[in-house]
A and B are shown apart, each in its own frame.
Chain A
Amino acid sequence: MKRIYPDRELCIGCGLCVLGCLAAHSKSHDLVLAYKEERAKGLVSRKRLIEDDEVCIAISCRHCEEPECVPVCISGALTKDEVTGITVYDADKCVGCWTCIMACPYGAIQRDKYNNKIIKCDLCAGRENGPACVEACPNRALRYEER
C-alpha cells in the first residue's frame, strides 16, 4: 500500500504539513477558520512536528502491516482494512481508554482531550489529491508512495 514516508534529511520544520492536515480535517476547510476557531472546539492536527537541536521530522500513523494498536483496542474502534491496508479509526466506538497510545511504539497516536477520543492519521480518506500534509510540504520531505 501507499504510505507517507517522512525524510528527516529534507524536513525543514516549517510545520506546513501540520497546518495542511488541520485544514483538511476541519469542517470549514479554511485554514484560518480551522486555526482560529475550530481548534478551540477540539480540532487537532493528525500530524506532529518533532524537533531537536539538529533535526526535525513530521510524523503520523504509519498504517503498519501488523499494527500494535488494533489488537489492543478494547472497543473495536481501531481495525485494519484488509483491502486498502489502512488502519481505520471509528471515533464513535472509541471510549478513550488510551490503550492504543500505550501500545503504539511509533508515538503516532494523540489524545483528543477535548472529546476524550484519540486523533490519528486517516491518510485524508477520499481526498482527491491524496494526503494534505504531503501536498503542503515545500521540500518533498513527505512522500506518499509504495515502497
Chain B
Amino acid sequence: MAYVIIGNGIASLGAIDGIRKYDRNTPITVIGAENTAAYGKPLTSYLLAGRISPERLSMRPDDYYKGKNVNLKLATYINKIDLEARELRTSEGEQIQFEKLLLATGGKPYVPQVNGLEGEGVYNFTAAKDAYRLIESVKDLKRAVVIGGGLIGLKAAESLYNRGVEVAVVESDQRILPLAYDGEAAALIAKRVEEAGMLVRCGVSGKNIVRDKSGKLRGILLEDKSFLEADAIVIAIGVVSNTELAEQAGIRVDKGIVVDDNMFTGKDGIYAAGDVAQARDVIFDKDKVVPVWSNAYTQGYYAGRNMAGNESKYPGTMSMSSISFFGLPTISVGEVNPDPDNSEYEIYTFFDERKQSYRKLVFKKDQLVGYVLVGDIDFAGMYTSFIKFKFKVDAITRKRLSQGEPDVLMWPDEFFNKAWNPDSK
C-alpha cells in the first residue's frame, strides 16, 4: 500500500488525479468518514432546496475509483497516525501501512458560543447528512433561525425558505458576507434576501437556546435581548480546519496543517491539502487557510503530483466565490476589501440600481488584484485573467476594464498569441 489518503472530499479527488497523472499502477487507499463517495459539498444547499436529487450529488461516475485502482474505505475513522511505524489505525480496528500519506481531512463545523446547543432541533450545515436530516424534518418546520450570514449560512437559509420555512439569519458582524464580499455588494444581496421575505439580523449574536419543559425547541434569545421563535436552529458559520489527527501525530499545525509550496508537511512522505491545509495565498502572499471548494481540488492535485514523485509547485490559493442568492448572481475574487488608508490601492466602482448591477475593481499599483460583480457576471473570467496572469494595467486598459465588458483583445499581444494562437509545429 503505497499511497493512502485520509479524507474523501474534493481535495482527495484532486490527489487521485494528481497521482494517477504520473503513477498509473501503485494502489491508492482512500479512507472517508462519510458513507458516500466524494460529492459536491456546495450542492448540499441545492439538495436541501429540492433542486437536485440525491443521485446527483456524486462528483464522479460510479466506476471512477475502480478505474483509477483506488481502494475506497467509507464510514471509517482514523484513530491514530503512527509516523514511526508508518501506519494508520482505523475505527474498524484495521492497521493500514503507508509510504506516502495525504491528510485531506477538511474542516469541522465552527461551533458558536450559544448556550443550550445540545439537544433536538439544532442542526449543522456542512455535510450531506445534515441536509438529509433537515429534509426529513422540514415538513414539520414553520420557522428556522440560521446562525451565520456568510456564504453557507445564506445558502442554507435560502434553501429552507424554498422549502416553505420562515427563515431568519443571524450574523454577528455588522453586515452579511463580511469575508467574501464588500459592503456594497453585501447591501445589495441583503436587500434581495429581505425582499424575498427573509429576516436578516446583523451585529448581534445568539445567546441562549430556549426550550419548553419537554425539551422542545422554542427559539433563540439574542445578545440584545430580542427573541426569535424557531423550530430549528441551523449553525452554518463555516468550518475550522480538522487538524486533530495531525496534531496528535506531531505534524506542524498553525491555523491549519502547515505545508510548503509542494503541499509537503515537512514529515517524510506526508502531505496535506484542502480545508485542513494552510497553503500559500497568491494575492496576500502568505500562508492561509482558505476553505474554498475551488482551491481544494487544486491543492489535492498538486499534493498528488508531488506524492507521485513529480515535483510541482502549487500555483497558490486565490480566494474566489460565485454564488447566486434568490436568482441574483454574484462573484467575488481576490482582494476585495483593501485597507482604505493604503495609497497603493485604487478602487473603481460602478452601480446601476435599476439593473441591480454592481461592479468593483481593486487595483494595486499597476495590477488588478480583486473584483466583485453582482448581477452582470458574464465577463468575470476576463477579470480573473488579469489577476491570474498578473498583467500590467496601463491607464487605458484600466479605464476599459472599469467600463465593463473586458475581452481577450485587451491582453498583451504576445500573451494572446501564445495562449490562443501558438505557432504550428
Binding site for B on A (CB under 8 A): 5-8, 50-52, 55, 57, 59, 62, 71-72, 74-76, 93, 95-99, 101-111, 145-147
Contact = CB atoms under 8 A, between A and B. Distances in A.
A99 B373 CA distance: 13
Interface residues of B, number: 47
Contact of A6 (B324, B385, B421): B421
B42 A74 contact: yes
A53 B324 CA distance: 35
Contact of A93 (B56, B380, B406): B56
A121 B294 CA distance: 22
Interface of B: 10, 14, 40-43, 46, 51-52, 56, 58-60, 293-294, 297-298, 301, 320, 322-324, 329, 331, 333, 377-382, 384-385, 388-389, 406-409, 416, 419-425
Contact of A145 (B379, B420, B424): B424
A72 B380 contact: no
Contacts of A62: 419-420
Given A71-B297, A71-B298, 7 more contacts: A55-B409, A59-B408, A71-B301, A75-B40, A103-B320, A107-B385, A110-B378
Given A50-B407, A50-B408, A102 B377 contact: yes
Q: Which 3 residue pairs spanning A and B have beta carbons closest together? A: A105-B385, A71-B297, A72-B294
Contacts of B423: 147
Contacts, number: 113
B36 to A, nearest CB: 13
27 contacts: A5-B422, A8-B409, A8-B420, A50-B409, A52-B407, A57-B408, A71-B301, A72-B293, A72-B297, A74-B42, A75-B40, A75-B52, A76-B40, A76-B59, A76-B60, A95-B52, A97-B322, A98-B377, A101-B331, A101-B378, A102-B322, A102-B384, A103-B384, A105-B385, A106-B420, A107-B381, A107-B385
Which of A57, A74, A110, A145 has the most C-beta atoms of chain B within 10 angstroms of its own C-beta? A74
Contacts of B422: 5, 147
B372 to A, nearest CB: 11
Given A50-B407, A50-B408, A105-B389, A99 B381 contact: no
Nearest to B10: A71
Interface of A is mostly: loop
Nearest to B294: A72
Contacts of A57: 408-409, 420
Given A57-B420, A95-B52, A103 B42 contact: no
Contacts of B52: 75, 95
B60 A98 contact: no
A108 to B, nearest CB: 8
A50 B58 CA distance: 37
Contacts of A108: 381
Given A74-B293, A99-B322, A109 B381 contact: yes
B409 A52 contact: yes
A5 B409 contact: no
A107 B294 contact: no
Q: Which of B320, B377, B381, B388 has the most CB of A within 10 A?
A: B381
Nearest to B51: A95
B409 A147 contact: no
Contacts of B420: 5-6, 8, 57, 59, 62, 106
Nearest to A108: B381
A34 B320 CA distance: 37
A111 B333 CA distance: 18
B40 A74 contact: yes
A103 B58 CA distance: 21
A57 B417 CA distance: 12
Nearest to A4: B420
